[in-house]
Amino acid sequence: MDVTSPPIFCGEYMKSILLLKSNAAVFLISILLFSFAIGGEVFFQGGDVSFVPQVEDNGGVYRDRGKVKDPFDILKDHGMNTIRLKLWHTPSENYNTLEKVIHMAKRIKSHNMYFLLNFHYSDTWADPGKQYKPKAWEDLSFEELKDSVYRYTRDVISCLYKNKVMPDIVQVGNEITPGFLWPDGRVGGSYDTPEQWQKFTALLKEAIRGVKEAGPGSDSIKIMIHIDRGGDNKGARWFFDNLLKHDVDFDFIGLSFYPWWHGTLNDLRYNLNDLAVRYNKEIIVVETAYPWTLDNADKVGNIVSSIDQLHSGYPATVEGQAKFLKDLITIVKNVKNNKGIGVIYWAPTWISTPNMGSAWENNALFDFEGNALESLDIFSETPEDTIKINVKLRLNTSTHYDTLRPYHFVQVRGELKNSLLDILPDGRKLSWYSDSELIMENIEGDYWQVVFEVRPGDTLLYKFWTGYNRNRPTYLRLGWEGPILPFQGKGNTRIFIAGENDTILPIQFYNSTGEALPQYWKPYEVKDNYLAIFFRVNLAKLMKSGIFDPEVNGPVGLRGDSTITSGQLSWNKTSFFLHREENSVYNGSFWSGTLYIPKSGLKAGDSLNYSFYIENINGGGYTEQNVHKRRLVITSSLLTQVNDTTLHWVYFNEPGYNKIKTEVEKAKLYAIRNIYPNPFNNRVYVKYNIPENSNVTIDIIDLSGGIVKELVKGKYNGGEYIVSWDGKNEDGKLVSSGVYLITFISNNIVEAKKVLFLK
């Protein structure tokens, strides 16, 4: 593309749409590819570089590793794939005009980057503090204003089409939380009325209609609604609830997030996840920035100049800027339901020059001399950051000193070590307080589990908290379990260090005691060639009724089949006794003990019949009346594996769970687990799993179905593998930019994933 050629003239209210149909097929194909890519795994990451023409016209230059380069080359080389440009209606200076936008858009397209167009619908800056209509529209009636918005928007898009620089995303209005085109389209404050919302949304619909009716295929352009409330969930919900109530049709939610104005990263995380679930829309943080220094290189005062404006934990250094940007991108990439699809940095190239100052120079991604900062590399750091693993955490509460039932409440509380964020990759909050969102699900009796995402290398510190509900804790330690000795290291918490693969942690038992117990302690001893069965019964109801007094009656024991237990149990006398858990609920109502049965005398399918028995009561003994014989089935897995063999606790004389949980679960195996980076312009890596020894074929296929490159073919052992593709076909030639399919075939497993190649 000739980026130096002048733009094709586009007069006001153009009549040229019909003349453009000869290029319709080319445009429709580009729209199709964009739509196909955006429906896949594209993450829009880039910057608003609207100030580049002014910087370049005033002698500014950009360098990468000491060499002067085109800023578009630098941004793309460092991982950006999207460029945003703002458009003013009739600016006082010759910048942000349609002509300048066309020149810049040609540079975008020549670099195979996505183009995001930002209509301000003003002659100057439009933001939450000012949304003034263009001077040319000041005296129009409301109906005339609607028509002008429609025609202007349509004609701009048509002109861009004619110049072959169609935008991929169009933003209709900039930070329009208070509406736009004041006073007609103003909302909020004293303008928060049904009449004003009706007028505002009517204008907005005309802008959207102008995009959709601009020419062949323009109805496929994605529409973004942009507000400023990155960390303000209440304000964001107020706006979009009203917008959708008036049936405004759009594709993306755009948010600005500057911590000195919009809150913390955790505020942003909460807002993004809530909006994603509430509105089911893709979300882009379309404006953000952070300072790399608080120094000033010119006489223009900087927007951020005080340490009080910084986010806690993120200093005004290149490293602090990089960490802020990395954490923000991580938050967006892990929005619930995969609705976080992009981060656009505002004015990364707005540096000062000898002839032009900048209020943003210390927020740019270039230093005062125009050298690219190392923080710019964050945009290319996609492989490790995008890998997530699933962890299944399981807990057995049969050792709880309270009567915890399946309808009660079990919560994981803790933190990600060495991280200022309290967010897991799946968007849930993890904290040491009641607001922790890791809530365990009861899966049967005393067994609870929760599945969550972490990143390889993450260290999780945690403990269990229990209650009758979220606000009413169990009676010991206000719901907290007792002290825990982690499986490695020191401290009083449980610990998990994430590896590279999905993980199912061994069953963990709730510690009700005041004694520090190892993280993976068991209420029984694991002995070779013995089956360990932990029996536990609650006598609180007998104690409350006056039938049983542990100071007078007892002890409590077990009676049952003699043969299957190698003579350890008998129906005629008690030879196996339980011990009283004196600190358990209701003044020590639980009794428990472990019976060790030789496996040599057992076979799968055998049944152990047993009953709890109280000595020294009613003139002799007292056996269970309603459940005279409880039954435990011995399974093959119980005999062949060392596993959790705890019986669910039961109430004396009442039926309840009495089977052993022995299922051994395996981590879920995927075909293609991850593709990174995506889009790519050098090499893409494909991480995949095969569940067992099998034949595997992985091919690169174009959209016409033709095989471009065979990556893998042969028989492989079960496991995890990584293969890469360099964008070349079987003849060793680079393929064209576009969307390709990576197909995976292994036995009965067939899967296809999209990848976008940008030269």
Question: Of 24-28, 255-259, 496-500, 518-522, which gets the smallest average pLDDT?
Answer: 24-28
Whether 41 has a pLDDT exceeding 50, the answer reads yes
Whether 337 has a pLDDT exceeding 50, the answer reads yes
pLDDT of residue 173: 97
In CATH terms, the fold of domain 532-584+595-651 is: Immunoglobulin-like (2.60.40)
Distance between CA 548 and CA 269 in Å, rounded? 55
Confidence of residue 289 (pLDDT cuts 50, 70, 90): very high
pLDDT of residue 572: 92
Average pLDDT over residues 479-485: 93
- Write down the residue that tokens 């919009």 correspond to: 262
- Which amino acid makes up residue 521? W
386-518 and 672-757 in the same fold: yes
Average pLDDT over residues 22-38: 42
Whole-number mean pLDDT of the chain? 87
pLDDT of residue 113: 93
Distance between CA 376 and CA 213 in Å, rounded? 38
Cα within 13 Å of Cα(97), Cβ side: 12
Question: Of 124-133, 156-165, 272-281, 422-431, which gets the smallest average pLDDT?
Answer: 422-431
Question: How buried is residue 459: exposed, middle or buried, by Cβ count under 10 Å (0-12/13-18/19+)?
Answer: middle
pLDDT of residue 32: 40
Question: Of 197-211, 288-302, 713-727, which gets the smallest average pLDDT?
Answer: 713-727
Q: What is the pLDDT of residues 348-392, one digit of tens each?
A: 999 999 899 999 999 999 999 999 999 999 998 754 445 778 999
The domain spans of the chain are: 17-381, 386-518, 532-584+595-651, 672-757
Q: What whole-number percentage of the chain has pLDDT above 90?
A: 59
Is it true that the peptide bond before 183 is cis, omega within 30 degrees of 0?
yes
pLDDT of residue 1: 52
pLDDT of residue 228: 97
Cα within 13 Å of Cα(135), Cβ side: 5
Q: What is the pLDDT of residues 409-465, one digit of tens each?
A: 999 999 888 665 677 877 788 889 898 989 999 887 788 999 998 888 888 999 999
Q: Which residues are within 8 A (CB) of 211 and not within 5 positions of it... i.e. 6 or more apart?
A: 153, 154, 157, 170, 172, 218, 221, 223
Partners of 436 in the β-ladder? none
Q: Which CATH class is domain 672-757?
A: mainly beta
Would you say 59 and 68 are in contact if contact means Cβ atoms under 8 Å apart? no
Whether 696 has a pLDDT exceeding 60, the answer reads yes
Whether 40 has a pLDDT exceeding 60, the answer reads no
Residues labelled catalytic: 175, 287
Whether 655 has a pLDDT exceeding 70, the answer reads yes
Domain 17-381 architecture: Alpha-Beta Barrel (3.20)
Would you say 242 and 192 are in contact if contact means Cβ atoms under 8 Å apart? no
- Write down the residue that tokens 């004389």 correspond to: 653
Distance between CA 171 and CA 85 in Å, rounded? 10
Q: What is the pLDDT of residues 207-245, one digit of tens each?
A: 999 999 998 778 889 999 999 999 999 999 999 999 999
- CATH 2.60.40.10 fits domain 386-518: yes
User: Beta strands of 599-748 (E only): which ranges?
Assistant: 607-617, 620-623, 630-633, 650-651, 672-676, 684-690, 694-701, 707-716, 719-725, 738-746
Average pLDDT over residues 501-519: 91
Q: What is the pLDDT of residues 58-116, one digit of tens each?
A: 999 999 999 999 999 999 999 999 999 999 999 999 999 999 999 999 999 999 899 99
Cα within 13 Å of Cα(68), Cβ side: 5
Q: Which residues of 244-282 are buried (b: 16+ CB within 10 A; e: fewer)?
A: eeeebebebbbbbbbbeebbbbbbbbbbbbbbbeebebb
Name the helix (H) or strand (E) containing 383.
Answer: helix 383-386
